[in-house]
Structure 1
Amino acid sequence: MWLGVDYYPEQWNINMLEEDLKNIKEMGSNVIRIGEFAWHLMEREEGKYDFSFFDYVIEKAREYDLKIIFGTPTATIPAWLIKKYPDMLLEYEPGRKISYGGRHTNCYNHPMFEKYANNITTKLVEHYKDEKNIIAWQMDNELGHEGSDLCYCDNCKKQFQNFLKKKYENIEELNIRYGTAFWSQTYNDFDEIPMPTKTIATHNPSLRMDWERFRSETIEKFLNSQIRIIREIIPDALILHDFAGGGMSKHVDYSKLAENLDIVAFNNYPVWGGQKDPIKPYEIAFALDYMRGLKRKNFWITEGIMGAQGHDITGYTPRPNQAKMWSYQGIARGAEALTYFRYRGGIKGAEQFCYGILDADNKKRRKYHEVKSFFSDIKKYKDILEEPLNSEIAIVHDFQSLASFRIQQQSLLLNCEEETKKYYKYFYDRNIYVDVIPSSLDLKKYKIIILPFLTVQDDEFRKKVESYVKEGGILILTYRTSVKDIDNNLVLNEFLPVGYNKMAGLYVEEIESLQDYDCLKLVGENEYNGVEGKGGIFREMLVCTTAKTLFKYSDKFYNEFSAVTKNKLEKGKVYYLGCGLEEKLIHVIFDDILEEVKIKSNLTIEGLEVIERGNDKKIRFYINHNDFPVTYQNLSLDPFECRIEEI
């Protein structure tokens, strides 16, 4: 189990190194993460490589028995490279370059960027190919974060057109699939095709979907080129990438980036600059489970926090033991390594208000001792915590479907990620693990699968889902399922949900986008006779063929239509949620589903997690997210306290 800190010795007087390493070791660390932003230090002038500084750091770390996670430095290009190639800067708007000075300021499609990035990575890895103290290589840093997944420069335009030329056999094929006869947008050649920058009204949805795919592929190609370099030089290297949060809203598919990595790593920030309060405990848990789900295996946390965070505006300061508690939560949900960002907060540069374990005064105080106690405690359970975490429930996300909603939101109130978290919260509140997985992974192991807002129809995936249900799985579909084809267009001569009609035992007669979360009155039928509730956001008027109605709409125009249904298909069942449901109704329906599949539930008070890890030998985490004491059975927990019990 790797436990340690993110350390940037190049930002400090080298005379501080020995004392810093001594303190880091005293804290209980066995690893430091270095190097990820030090390109200029390694290559001060073009082609003149010098790794002597890090040679010294690694040698000193060895003296303190501290291993190394080494980050390749391609996230921050040196000033001399921009001086030579000023057009390498990305453009948020065509013809308007951003300024050099932040990070990820480069265009990934600039022909010289890949050359220089590959050169520095090759030289770095060749230099350290025999260095046994390096236990893992981190590729770049937070790819796609802070808007770096978009660029509208001429290089991107040309490469986008090449992307389309490669994808479609000829321009006529693209015109047909896009439906460019609409608004006289028919193209005679691929070089006529624009990027989807600002226009009057809006661009073609198929064009915009291909743009999303292109943006993702751009970053995928860059990452994979870097991975190949390391694999060729150090075949058995352990390779990771540290993902930022918010993956479901990025213009890059995190699941594709994860495919060729050995380890998914996560930078876990429950609070950031300007936030009055941290995000909710279930939202933190969702992000952790999403990261674990990218490869459906344990992950690393490469940036845990101890202090307040922010660039220009600082945020909420974690209360005593609160950030320590978030560390326990991360480990409980599958993190088998954790390094804190950062050992000491910076006194210069853009992250001066990203507070570390030590502050600028360089004194060991509360935060230092909290980390020390956490490391000491969590090491006791190393063997159990390195075992796989198993779940019987999955929530499935799909990059193309999420992109489709970014392109055409359909309802002003529909935020797919936030609505998905409402379903997730039901299980979180009952202390049930959920795998949040990409649609590319296998489904067979789960008793329950939720497919929220899977709006883009893919035949291969549909066959996989149908097989899952027929073999006994329980599937929960939501409104706006299978509305679009793979080109992000509606489908002629087909009822919604396209391809899922027989599976769900229904079709959609009409639809309505709503302007409220709870404007619909729903009344129960069959086993829910006498139950009433509310819905909103969006609704589909469902007509049952073989499905059974569980709830109907209760208004004077649409009271003949179903709102929630259940259909039996061979050994399995399909539930369809035709509108956004209030929390009470989610509880009513999901309670019965849990009982049917005999998954144990443990509903605790809000803010208290009680979850178990381990197979033959088990431990139980008691995590109090509340700022007040709580009692669970005969156990009392102080504010933000966490305890681990062997069971």
Structure 2
Amino acid sequence: MRKSIKVMLMLCISGLFAGSICSETLALDAGHAVKISTERNVWSPKIDNETIRVASDNKNTFNDEKTIRVTVSKMEKDKTVIYTYVKVKPDTEYILEFYYRVEKIEPQDSNFSIILCCNKDGGGNGSDGIIKIPIDSSKAKNEWIKISKRFKTYPETAVIQFCINFSMIIFEGNISSINIIPVQNSFTVARLGADEKINIDGILNEPIWQKADAMTPFFHNKFSDSMPPNKTAAKMAFDDKMLYVAFRCNVEKIEDTKASAKERDSKSLWQDEGVEFFIMPSADDGAHFIINSNGVFSDYKIRSTTWENASGYIQDIKWNSNAQVAAKTEGNSYCIEMTVPLSELGLNTESLKTALVNFCRNDSESNGNDTFSQLRGLFMEPMSFSVMKTEGEQLFVKRFIQSEDKNPYAVERKTKLFSELLSSGPGDFTVSSWNAYGGLKISLKQDKTLSPEDIKRIQQETIEELSKGKEYSLMYEANFRDEGGLSKLREMYEKYGICPMISIENSGVFKGAINRGAEILHPAGFGACPNGTPSVISPQYTEVAIETATKIIERYKNEPYPLIIHGKDEPENGETIKFSRTQNPKSKLIAEFDAKVKASFGFGKYGIPDVKDPKTYEDLLKMRLSWIAFARAWTDEFMKQRIAIYSAIKKIRPNLKFIFMSLNTMGSIGAEDASEYDERLGDIISCDPYASSTSSIIRGKYNHGFATKLLKDITHVPEIMTIVQAFPYRGCDPCADDMNEWVSQSLKAGAKHIQYYDPLLVVPDTYKLKKPNVYKEILKINERISKMNALNIPQTSDMAVLYSLYSYMSDGPTDANEAYTAHVLLGENLHSWFKFVSDRDVEKGKVDLKKYKLIIVPYFRFVTDKISEEILSALSSGSTVVFCDPRSFDYDIEGNSKAGTREKVFGVKRGEPINQKRMIFSSVKGEFPLYKRCQFLSQKEDNVFSINVNPASASVIARYPDNSPAAVKGKYGKGTFYYFAANPLVSDILSGGNNWSDFFRTVLAENSIDMNCRIWDFHISGK
């Protein structure tokens, strides 16, 4: 049962942080209401003074209960706080609920606030932190308003001082029914007995439903401390063959709910009032049900995919289960009841014990999307689903808990520098947006209150505003022909000096390729080719892309303004799906390309990894080696195509700049050899490192800077464009501070061009109309960027971070978690400057590792003889090399074991994965937790191993809690090596609460690495 505590305030007049914790503080106790009488004079000798008056009110009652009457007669700061103390549990989530009404408040637009001072055991008020909850008083004039907010106590909180603060306002009103509710996160699932049955009729009157816990509350499907206005609860039960699910959904007025879909599998069901249910045997596959309040439903089969869409999963609506569903209205609520065979879900009573589940609500009345698991914006987030657990014979649902922060992507910076980090030379930076002109038009047309004249006026105003800040837009020609065409572009260039960016590759190129006989390899279509798409590297695509590009450039041949041409956006997306022989068994292109992969890069035995063939995953080593071969072959073909396009358009307009691709860096670099990208392909490479697209919040916080620096360092393309996430995505609705932070990360990492992604109906178009503060901040940022000189970014470094392209290519789509963690730990945290160098450049002789004092190796499972030779040569010559990856020197790219190198150099033999959660250093104090390796999205891999150490070769510097060795240090020639049996570079360590920074700080100091590099303090909002 859900437990709540009713708190009747003992009200005191005092300063907010005055006083100590009273010994009579009452506990937030399981199942017992705590009533603190207003007559108990515990903390203050009197209740009233000339500023504030507090009393019990029998006249203005709420639900037949007397309330607290508060009258504040003077605007003061320190004498307008009422408070009480309540014992709570540390690091625990609660919901604060209360009702209030306002008779008088001055100034009229003022607010009062709730302040929770979290106190350590024996500590003063706020000793463990302070939580502030502003209350919007404008909605409560003479009527009762409910407030429902969630908060989480800090790790050492024992007591909260619950304060209601009326600072600097005049106030008359009442407060009632204050409840602090512990959020329950574990819920029982009922099992039917042999004689028990459930009648699927929408009436939850069977006794078995009373045995199942009501899974509640639901949360907003985004980061918010506010709770949904309408309550939702779900229950689960099962027997040997069937799974049963029930929902009860409250509404304000049942007649206002919308449920228009009438047919099963209707595509509009998700827009109706209703619920959704997900259940998955694993993170790779499962089922999804959408049910409206009338009981009409759709069912989908879910399966994981690779770079196929934003969530990493696709749904098959053609799948039909034998589910039974019923709905029933009951007052101002409705109930949904359903059952489905376990076997159709890929489950039985045993596998159900580890399934992933989530329950969701589409609340048409409040326009809300609510969820039981704490997600980040998409309902399709299996990585954040709740899990089934057992305790003895009892089955439970364990709720997944997300970060409680309002803006978990926020980065706190004590120092923000600007002017002193600029050089004397011009910056020549550019700012742009993704299709702002065309998107703005579509956005405005959605507003039926605007006339055609209004739309035209707002369009022109926006174009002028953006242009003043030197911001231009990526344009599809069709979108700006109506806005004046070439003459308008000339005008904007002459007036503001901006140049257009023209897209030359869109769905029309795919359509042209299909018309010329290109094989349709992917069933998912879009734009001009809704029935499917061919491969980007098909010969027909290359032909049409060159012809389209030259035709467009001819139109701009004699235009006076500079020209930026945008090529293919995320060309690697979906390519591995397209080259699946299982999906396309008759494809001639796949057969030919597979032969090339094997012959040129796969040693005659490793071809295309068939991602849709289950047998592919039976031999993981072969799969990884096939990924490497495929990635190199695909890159080779793509390079030839890009070189041909660039050469063709340069002949027509030599002074243009060509963005030859926008690389998908939402996780990291995909399965391709980015070291091959150079000035032959184009002038600019673009990346889109959206913070909320990554596997976790901490993995996304610094992704803009990480992706930019990675491309700047390991590619050889002259200029980098970073596309900043300026749109709501997966629960992250960027604010003005995010724009400043992500632009700053990108610029200090080497970006020359900043572009805001604002697809069609999103920002900055709607920011202009709906979030003017963010839109104005974007304009302010643009103006500063367009005028700033070049940044003084260090050009040399004594430290390298070796980015193993071979190893990361073997992952397929990769999270590059180790490299990201190194970037944040060494750069953002320790303020040292480093250079990412790729193993491929080492292999090609473009990088001499011997010039670096310190080399950090985050991930190194695949090598070649040349790479091994070079890194050991640097080590022997005196470099210090930190091998963080326990799999270092596992195999060469032909599949031969290189474990002998590991044994020879480090004096260790690696054993099997073990279950150890931390390591203990002999020379560095603190906590050193260990985590599994994150590959892509929710996929995890063993990361902690046992090792046997030859004491003649290395000394043990860290051990597991069972005293077995966890890390070693030794000499090799003139150099020093570190080898870890468990990789510390997992982004979880960046969340704090550990001392890994201290260890690496020690290593950097021993190697005289500067940890005062001020470029890390650059901020576009600094002075």
Q: Do they superpose with TM above 0.5?
A: yes
Alignment correspondent of 2:1022: 644
Residue pair 1:454, 1:481 contacting (<8 A) in 2 also? yes
Answer 1 or 2: higher relative contact order, Cα 8 Å, separation at least 6: 1
Alignment correspondent of 2:775: 368
Matches for 1:153-172 after TM superposition, within 5 Å: 153=584, 154-164=587-597, 166-167=599-600
Alignment correspondent of 1:285: 705
Q: Which of 64, 70, 90 is equivalent to 2:501?
A: 70
- Partner Cα distance (1:65, 1:142) in 2: 31
Amino acid at match of 1:222: Q
- Partner Cα distance (2:918, 2:636) in 1: 41
Alignment correspondent of 1:242: 662
- Partner Cα distance (1:431, 1:394) in 2: 14
Q: Percent identity?
A: 16
- Partner Cα distance (1:124, 1:612) in 2: 44
Alignment correspondent of 1:184: none
Residue pair 2:546, 2:645 contacting (<8 A) in 1 also? yes
Structure 1 segments unaligned to the other structure (5+ residues): 43-49, 92-96, 179-189, 347-351, 408-414, 603-610, 614-619, 624-641
Alignment correspondent of 1:269: 690
Alignment correspondent of 2:648: 229
1:403 positional shift? 3.0
Larger Cα-atom Rg:
2
- Partner Cα distance (2:553, 2:850) in 1: 40
Q: Which of 797, 803, 817 is equivalent to 1:418?
A: 817
Residue pair 1:301, 1:339 contacting (<8 A) in 2 also? yes
Amino acid at match of 1:213: R
Higher-strand-fraction structure = 2
Other structure's SS at 1:383 match = strand
- Partner Cα distance (1:568, 1:276) in 2: 37
- Partner Cα distance (2:510, 2:983) in 1: 50
Other structure's SS at 1:401 match = helix
TM-score, length of structure 1 as denominator length = 0.71
Residue pair 1:209, 1:400 contacting (<8 A) in 2 also? yes
Residue pair 1:474, 1:574 contacting (<8 A) in 2 also? yes
Q: Is 1:330 paired with 2:330?
A: no
Amino acid at match of 2:604: L
- Partner Cα distance (1:258, 1:79) in 2: 25
| Cα pair distance change 1:600/1:447, threshold 3 Å | same
Amino acid at match of 1:230: I
Other structure's SS at 2:862 match = coil
Higher-helix-fraction structure = 1
Amino acid at match of 2:838: P
1:445 positional shift? 4.6
Residue pair 1:34, 1:68 contacting (<8 A) in 2 also? no
| Cα pair distance change 1:197/1:270, threshold 3 Å | closer
Amino acid at match of 2:494: E
Q: Is 1:565 paired with 2:968?
A: yes
Residue pair 1:456, 1:486 contacting (<8 A) in 2 also? yes
Q: Which of 881, 894, 907 is equivalent to 1:506?
A: 907
1:108 positional shift? 2.5
1:226 positional shift? 2.2
Amino acid at match of 2:548: I
- Partner Cα distance (1:278, 1:545) in 2: 38
Matches for 1:6-155 after TM superposition, within 5 Å: 6=433, 7-10=435-438, 12=441, 18-26=460-468, 28-29=469-470, 31-35=471-475, 37=476, 54-77=485-508, 81=512, 84=515, 88-91=519-522, 97-101=523-527, 105-145=533-573, 150-152=578-580, 153=584, 154-155=587-588
| Cα pair distance change 1:272/1:451, threshold 3 Å | closer
1:41 positional shift? 8.0
| Cα pair distance change 1:20/1:270, threshold 3 Å | same
Amino acid at match of 1:160: F
1:456 positional shift? 1.2
- Partner Cα distance (2:668, 2:657) in 1: 26
Residue pair 1:34, 1:70 contacting (<8 A) in 2 also? yes
Residue pair 2:562, 2:656 contacting (<8 A) in 1 also? no
Other structure's SS at 1:565 match = strand
- Partner Cα distance (1:484, 1:23) in 2: 56
Amino acid at match of 2:977: V
Q: Deviations over 1:33-75 (max 9, x none)?
A: 433x55x789xxxxxxx99975344323223233325344224
- Partner Cα distance (1:379, 1:483) in 2: 48
Q: Is 1:4 paired with 2:431?
A: yes
Residue pair 1:223, 1:257 contacting (<8 A) in 2 also? no
Other structure's SS at 1:106 match = coil
Q: Is 1:519 paired with 2:917?
A: yes
Residue pair 2:664, 2:688 contacting (<8 A) in 1 also? yes
Amino acid at match of 1:202: E
Matches for 1:260-409 after TM superposition, within 5 Å: 260=680, 261-271=682-692, 280-295=700-715, 299-306=719-726, 308-310=727-729, 315-342=731-758, 346=760, 352=761, 355-359=762-766, 362=769, 365-379=772-786, 381-384=788-791, 389-406=795-812
Other structure's SS at 2:840 match = coil
Matches for 1:485-504 after TM superposition, within 5 Å: 485-487=892-894, 489-491=895-897, 496=899, 498-499=900-901, 501-502=903-904, 504=905
Residue pair 1:395, 1:449 contacting (<8 A) in 2 also? yes
| Cα pair distance change 1:106/1:41, threshold 3 Å | farther
Amino acid at match of 2:592: Q
- Partner Cα distance (1:512, 1:125) in 2: 59
TM-score, length of structure 2 as denominator length = 0.47
Other structure's SS at 2:791 match = helix
Residue pair 1:90, 1:98 contacting (<8 A) in 2 also? no
Question: How many equivalent residue pairs?
Answer: 542
Other structure's SS at 1:340 match = strand
Structure 2 segments unaligned to the other structure (5+ residues): 1-427, 442-451, 842-846, 932-942
Q: Is 1:595 paired with 2:1005?
A: yes
Other structure's SS at 1:599 match = coil
- Partner Cα distance (1:388, 1:129) in 2: 38
- Partner Cα distance (2:510, 2:862) in 1: 43
Alignment correspondent of 1:436: 836
Residue pair 1:522, 1:554 contacting (<8 A) in 2 also? yes
1:479 positional shift? 0.9
1:125 positional shift? 2.7
Alignment correspondent of 1:628: none
1:511 positional shift? 2.0
- Partner Cα distance (1:432, 1:74) in 2: 40
Residue pair 1:196, 1:208 contacting (<8 A) in 2 also? no
1:382 positional shift? 1.2
Residue pair 2:797, 2:852 contacting (<8 A) in 1 also? yes
Matches for 1:476-487 after TM superposition, within 5 Å: 476-477=882-883, 478-487=885-894
| Cα pair distance change 1:155/1:519, threshold 3 Å | same
Amino acid at match of 1:119: E
| Cα pair distance change 1:416/1:511, threshold 3 Å | farther
Alignment correspondent of 1:447: 853
Residue pair 1:272, 1:309 contacting (<8 A) in 2 also? no
1:155 positional shift? 4.0
Residue pair 1:109, 1:159 contacting (<8 A) in 2 also? no
Residue pair 1:264, 1:294 contacting (<8 A) in 2 also? no
Residue pair 1:118, 1:229 contacting (<8 A) in 2 also? yes
Amino acid at match of 1:161: D
Alignment correspondent of 1:621: 1017
